[in-house]
Amino acid sequence: MPRPPLTLHSEAYSASGNLAADGYLKLLGAPSIDLVQTVVREAVQNSCDAALSDGGAEVHFRLRTLDPEQAAILSVEILSQRPLDVKAAGSLDDFLSSESLRVLEICDFGTAGLAGPTRADLASDDEPTDFVDFLRNVGSRRNTVHGGGTYGYGKTSLYLASRCSAIVIDTQTSFAGDPVRRLIAAQLGSAFDADDPHGVRRRFTGRHWWGVSADGEEYVDPIEGREAADLADAIGFPARDVTQSGTSIMILDPAFVGTDCEHAMSLVQEALLWFFWPRLIEDTPETRKMHFRIFIEDTEYPLPQPEDFPPLDLYARAMKALRTDPASGEEIRSFRPNRMLGRLSMVRGLRADRIAPAGREGSLFPERSAAIAVMRPVELVVRYYEGAQLPDDRFEWAGVFVASDEQIVEAAFAEAEPPAHDDWQFEALADKEARSIVRIAVRRIKVAAAEYANPPPAAPIAGDTGPSLATVAGLFGRVLEGEGEGAGPRAPGGGGGGASRGGAGVSRPLFLRLEEGRDGPVAVFEMVVRGDGAANSLLLEPALVMDGGTAAEAPSTIKPSVLDARDDLGESLGSGTRIEIGDRVGRFEVAVAMPPDCAVTLGARLSAAANE
């Protein structure tokens, strides 16, 4: 039996007024990121917020061409009625009459789908309102604690991504405790005047939906149940049942896709990696992990693992440090009131060759990384604050800032995000306390990004300026290159991380910079000490690596020495291989003197302050 076509409803202005589709499309503003990135961010943030509690969500991006039967069903059964607006109808006609109907599908699994009632005018205290917030309302406040989105303006990007501003939505979800399948199509055009079916001249907002007529009402509902599932199957949406809840969105005639489909989808791959790597790395808890799959027609294009994709490997290291050892990160605080705003972790390493989809002209991924990725506790990258490059072009660095999950702090950062969620704009915040929270954090992040590669000059360790450090810098490059990590060379016997009691210990020393001392070059290392409240000693083991030889071949009279050790407040704690640090914890800098034409490594252990 043939299926009846869906019914078109074009929204007319009510007596009290409405928002025109033209204005709806402009609510997104002027994002700092391009259309592909905005679409990817919006779609994945929606999936993150809708993910079920028992596991991470899976999202598929599939670019495909409808076969003749699917194209006929879209044209005859779903979009058979055209809007009265000539421009909106014309763009649909152009697409549906083209030789090949190309669509981009974004499909998530393991999410709640577009749940709740389909009417926007009914109060629903115990039900989610995802369906009406996505399809009908504009600017509904988020109801997901620490969610990725705020008012949902970003969904307009899905319409903007279509040359005919039209999408088809298929969702397996629930309402009133029962599973339900729903399908509906929507288009955003422009406001227009026309005669309604009763011959009355009216104004229309330019918003259009295709569904089933609601009895006696001037709107349409989605088609539901078995009929919705059959229609979704008929146009090639992924198969679903009650165990595969989620939403599929079909963007008709995607605007960023031209003749080179692989290039278009490489843009999607880049956006997924650039903004969502925190949800992809190995140590992400399974309940928060995202799984992405990318297809062109029926061919899958695997997404690289961030740990194997420079420079995301550095960002992954910085994030792992925050997750596994918060003491390794720097607290960003305000002082009036005294409040922790977030934590910052920064690492450096050898610059590795870029691999696809990075490396092309105009890629999101820089040739050398020098930036801090910032995010709220939901761990979706908002933006990157760029900093200064390291002096040696063989190296790069990356930082990660995660805002505090304290409610007042998280809410301030969320409110500071524009509709595209691509920045923290504290200037626009009306609340003085919220504005102060974001302003202080952003200022300190920018300072950290500017100073990491070129720290402010400290008081010289020893008098006059010595010769150029270029030769020694090259040696350090080769030593780090041999290590393969770039986190700093290991000293004999393991190099660092030794612990004497419980949670006490010291991280592996990280080479920071070279300075010119009175008697030759000085290498400065950084490490983080964790303590248990007891008095401790820091045992330091400097060793040489010579150009063309090993430390063992060095003359016995040439030995590196620890000139100075300082805590994170800059207080000098003395020199030598044993530094009494008491109950101090946090970051320490150690200056090691060395002869010319050598590189130095440093090992560190923690022991009780008493003699071992």
The pTM of the full predicted model, rounded to 2 decimals, is 0.74
Q: What is the mean pLDDT of residues 23-33?
A: 67
Within-domain flag for 285? no
Range of the domain at 503: 470-608
Distance between CA atoms of residues 84 and 194, nearest Å? 7
Question: Which of 451, 482, 499 is the C-terminal boundary of a domain?
Answer: 451
Do 497 and 534 lie in one domain? The reply is yes
Give the pLDDT band (50/70/90) at residue 200.
confident
pLDDT 10s digits, 274-285: 999 999 999 998
Least confident of 334-338, 395-399, 419-423, 492-496: 492-496
Do 520 and 429 lie in one domain? The reply is no
Do 375 and 512 lie in one domain? The reply is no
pLDDT at 33: 79
In the block, which residue shows the tokens 């990075």?
Answer: 358
Do 491 and 352 lie in one domain? The reply is no
pLDDT at 486: 34
Within-domain flag for 460? no
Question: Which of 390, 424, 451 is the C-terminal boundary of a domain?
Answer: 451
Contact 509, 488 (CB under 8 A): yes
pLDDT at 334: 86
Do 60 and 178 lie in one domain? The reply is yes
* Residue 580 CB contacts under 8 Å (≥ 6 apart), including other chains: 535, 537, 538, 573, 574, 609
Name the token pair of 294. Answer: 């990318």
Do 219 and 346 lie in one domain? The reply is no
Higher pLDDT, 158 or 148: 158
Within-domain flag for 280? no
Within-domain flag for 294? no
Least confident of 29-33, 146-150, 534-538: 146-150
Sign (positive or negative) of CA dihedral 69, 238, 65, 31: positive
* Residue 55 CB contacts under 8 Å (≥ 6 apart), including other chains: 110, 286, 287
Q: Is the confidence at residue 467, as pLDDT, over 80?
A: no
Name the token pair of 540. Answer: 């330091």
Q: What is the mean pLDDT of residues 270-275?
A: 96
The fraction of the chain above a pLDDT of 90, given in percent, is 53
Higher pLDDT, 137 or 244: 244
Within-domain flag for 281? no
Within-domain flag for 512? yes
Contact 45, 57 (CB under 8 A): no
Strands (DSSP E) along 176-222, which ranges? 178-188, 192-195, 201-213, 220-221
8-state DSSP, 162: B
Do 373 and 502 lie in one domain? The reply is no
Q: What are phi and psi of 554, to 5 degrees?
A: -70, 145
pLDDT at 88: 95
Least confident of 104-108, 112-116, 159-163, 321-325: 321-325
Do 532 and 596 lie in one domain? The reply is yes
CA–CA distance from 30 to each of 271, 400, 419 (Å)? 18, 26, 9
Do 424 and 527 lie in one domain? The reply is no
Q: Is the confidence at residue 265, as pLDDT, over 70?
A: yes
pLDDT at 471: 60
pLDDT at 59: 96
* Residue 23 CB contacts under 8 Å (≥ 6 apart), including other chains: none
Q: Which of 118, 219, 160 is nearest to 21 (CA)?
A: 160
Do 478 and 346 lie in one domain? The reply is no
Q: Which of 264, 273, 344, 281 is nearest to 102 (CA)?
A: 264
Is residue 311 packed enough to be buried (19+ CB in 10 Å), middle (13-18) or exposed (0-12)?
buried
Q: Is the confidence at residue 492, as pLDDT, over 60?
A: no
The total domain count for the chain is 3
Do 524 and 582 lie in one domain? The reply is yes
pLDDT 10s digits, 226-239: 999 999 999 999 99
Name the token pair of 57. Answer: 């969500």
Within-domain flag for 269? no
pLDDT at 178: 94
Within-domain flag for 274? no
Question: Which of 257, 287, 303 is the C-terminal boundary of a domain?
Answer: 257
Q: Is the confidence at residue 149, as pLDDT, over 50?
A: no
Q: What is the mean pLDDT of residues 375-391?
A: 94
Higher pLDDT, 96 or 14: 96
pLDDT at 208: 95
Q: Which of 241, 270, 267, 244 is nearest to 256 (CA)?
A: 267
Name the token pair of 604. Answer: 């560190």
Do 249 and 369 lie in one domain? The reply is no
Residue type, 154: G
Contact 408, 433 (CB under 8 A): yes
End-to-end CA separation in angstroms for the chain: 88
